[in-house]
Amino acid sequence: MCGSGDQMTSILEQLLSVFWLRPETAVWRYLDIEAMKRFEFEGRSLDFGCGDGIFSFIRAGGRFTAEFDAFQKTERLDRFYQNVDVYDAYDEGYNPLVASASSYRIGVGFDHKANLLRKAAALNFYRETVEGDGNAPLPFDDNSFGSIFSNIVYWLDNPADVVSELRRILVPGGKICLMLPNETLPQYSFYNSLYGETENEQWKWLELLDRGRLSDNIKQSKSDEDWREIFSSAGLSVSHHSQHLPKVIIKAWDIGFRPMFPALMKMVAGVDPVKLPSVKAEWVGALRMFADPLAAIGKINDESSAFHCYILTK
């Protein structure tokens, strides 16, 4: 996938339409797609931790109609502030409203949540979806994939074991693209810097904003040197490394529209369906005034940026 200026603008617009109630997610995903420019799927491919598949589908050039959004099936919004995954929901009415198919398909979408995999399967983008636990030995043969993408390795208990498993299932000469947090990431979390590090009770309420993210995954943040140690122990070499997601982007994302999300969902449900498309179009237009310059600033990176993007070879 190349990334000409026009293509990237249309990707940002698409992401803002799909994640209109969480525009911070759209900007993050856009910068992920930029960061992965050098990675192409080859041979049998695996999206390890594919979730609902929307990210990889858009990266592959797939497009949704303006009526679609990623919030079409959510559940338990009343428990949002107790760290419940409100997207882990599915019923037969789920319809991803694909406007145009992607330019390629991915062999296998793997995840541990059945509902997310049902959403992913509805895209007709994965040849196969496989449910399984990424913390356990993977249900795939040795040397069975030509290319693997994952942005979830840091959500798992032991990244070194997972990297070793990914190497096992990769063919010699195959490629793995991983997004992994840098050691700077925790410093950019309001919860961590104002409460986690100080234990000042005045900031305890930031738990409502963090929603378990820090304890779930920021703990796996590592320097380039430490990640490389894990790769070389697993028998993988680094063919490309870059960093993305600078401090300002993570700080904007850390709050974003997150605090108001359940209330926004209820408000949208109350909008007259006839008026909704024009409300959404105006909303996305307004978002672009902020998202476009923020995404441009997000392209300015250095070694303090919060994420690493690696392409590894076996």
Ligand X SMILES: C[S@@+](CC[C@H](N)C(=O)[O-])C[C@H]1O[C@@H](n2cnc3c(N)ncnc32)[C@H](O)[C@@H]1O
Q: Which residues bind ligand X (CB under 6 A)?
A: 49-51, 55, 111-113, 116, 133-135, 151-152, 155-156
- Which residue's CB is nearer to ligand X, number 127 or number 204? 127
Reduced to 3 states (helix: H, G, I; strand: E, B; else coil), residue 119 is helix
CB atoms near residue 40 (< 10 Å): 14
Overall size of the chain counted in residues: 314
**From the CB of 49, what's the least distance to ligand X, in Å?**
4
298 contacts 246 by C-beta, under 8 angstroms: yes
- Which residue's CB is nearer to ligand X, number 112 or number 247? 112
- Which residue's CB is nearer to ligand X, number 24 or number 228? 24
| DSSP letter, residue 195 | I
- Which position's Cβ is nearest ligand X? 51
Phi, psi of 68 (to 5 degrees): -80, 145
**From the CB of 216, what's the least distance to ligand X, in Å?**
9
Tokens read off for 76: 């338990």
**Adjacent-strand bridge partners of 126:** 106
- Which residue's CB is nearer to ligand X, number 135 or number 223? 135
- Which residue's CB is nearer to ligand X, number 57 or number 191? 57
Tokens read off for 305: 């940026």
3 closest CA partner among 60, 64, 80, 68 = 60
**From the CB of 42, what's the least distance to ligand X, in Å?**
19
**From the CB of 155, what's the least distance to ligand X, in Å?**
4
**From the CB of 134, what's the least distance to ligand X, in Å?**
3
d(CA 132, CA 135): 9
- Which residue's CB is nearer to ligand X, number 161 or number 207? 161
**From the CB of 60, what's the least distance to ligand X, in Å?**
12
Contacts of 69 (CB under 8 A, 6+ apart): 17, 18, 19, 20, 21
183 contacts 223 by C-beta, under 8 angstroms: yes
